[in-house]
Amino acid sequence: MVPKHNFLNAISSCLISIVPEGFYDRVEKGSIILKKAPEFGFCKEGIVVDGESTPLETDLVILATGFKGDEKLKDIFVSPTFRDYIIGSPTASLPLYRECIHPRIPQLAVIGFSESISNLYTSEMRCRWVAELLDGKFKLPSINEMEKDAERWDKYMKQYSGEYYRRSCIGAVHIWYNDQLCKDMGWNSKRKKGFIPELFQPYGPMDYCPS
């Protein structure tokens, strides 16, 4: 099960999965069997995996097919203009300022499209950012400035995420991203108490509780 992409590409594209405790122990014992195949089919006994002659006896099949988030965003709108705005160019990442607000549709905040290593943590930070924006604690930059910021983000995505740039993953720059949100909200982006903890302690959700 060795991936074709390197670690930097994986973490920059959110292609890393966190497995439950004891997962690999179960793989070694044989209670979890890993199969990798481009195709599979159903038969009376269960599943036929491409390249194998013996079917896998199966009681239940879960099809984790995923979804196309950009299409779901597009379907929010009836207007062709806004449908084109929200998904942007098919050759660029979604043009969302702070991975949240489209420069030309500032009344709409998108929470949860951009991925990270911990999506709940990331979404909670964005929700706080949006709440502070709605409360008037800060204002959005001009349309031109937000579009330029989205263009810089697109260049980063293509450099480190490769073919997966449309996933809009912030996994490799999560702390830097949170720093930008903190600065927007007028918070100190250095959340640790002291120089040494700031250098060596990992950041987590509790570090961003309002003081």
DSSP string of 48-113, one letter each residue:
EETT-SSPEE-S---------HHHHHHTT--SHHHHHHHH--TTS----BTTTEETTEEEEE--SS
CA distances from 118 to 17, 87, 92, 112, 114 (A): 10, 24, 24, 11, 11
Residue at 210: amino acid letter: P
| Mean predicted lDDT score pLDDT of the chain | 88
The CA distance from 25 to 17, in Å, is 17
204 against 66, higher pLDDT? 204
Cα torsion angle, 103, 105, 106, 108, sign:
negative
Max distance between CA atoms of the chain, in angstroms, equals: 64
- d(CA 22, CA 1) in angstroms, rounded, equals 17
Res 80 pLDDT > 70: yes
Partnered with residue 102 across adjacent β-strands are 105
Query: For residues 6 and 30, which has the higher predicted lDDT (pLDDT)?
Result: 30
Over the stretch 28-53, which tens digit does the pLDDT of each residue have? 999 888 887 878 888 888 888 888 88
At 90-112, the pLDDT tens digits run 888 889 999 999 999 999 999 98
Question: Of 154, 166, 202, which Cα lies nearest the Cα of 13?
Answer: 166
State the pLDDT confidence band at 115, using cuts at 50, 70 and 90: confident
How is residue 137 written in tokens?
């604690």
Please answer whether residues 97 and 149 qualify as being in contact, where contact means their C-beta atoms are separated by less than 8 angstroms: yes
Encoding tokens for residue 210?
A: 């309002």
CA 13 to CA 50: how far, in whole Å? 28
* Dist. CA 139–CA 133, nearest whole Å: 6
Q: What is the pLDDT of residue 141?
A: 96
* Amino acid making up residue 123: S
> Dihedral, CA atoms, 164, 72, 86, 96, nearest 10 degrees?
-50
What's the confidence (pLDDT) of residue 211? 64
Band (pLDDT 50/70/90 cuts) for residue 9 is confident
Q: Is pLDDT above 90 for 16?
A: no
Helices 119-134 and 174-185: angle between axes, nearest 10 degrees:
20
Q: Do residues 111 and 100 lie in contact, with contact meaning Cβ atoms separated by under 8 Å?
A: yes
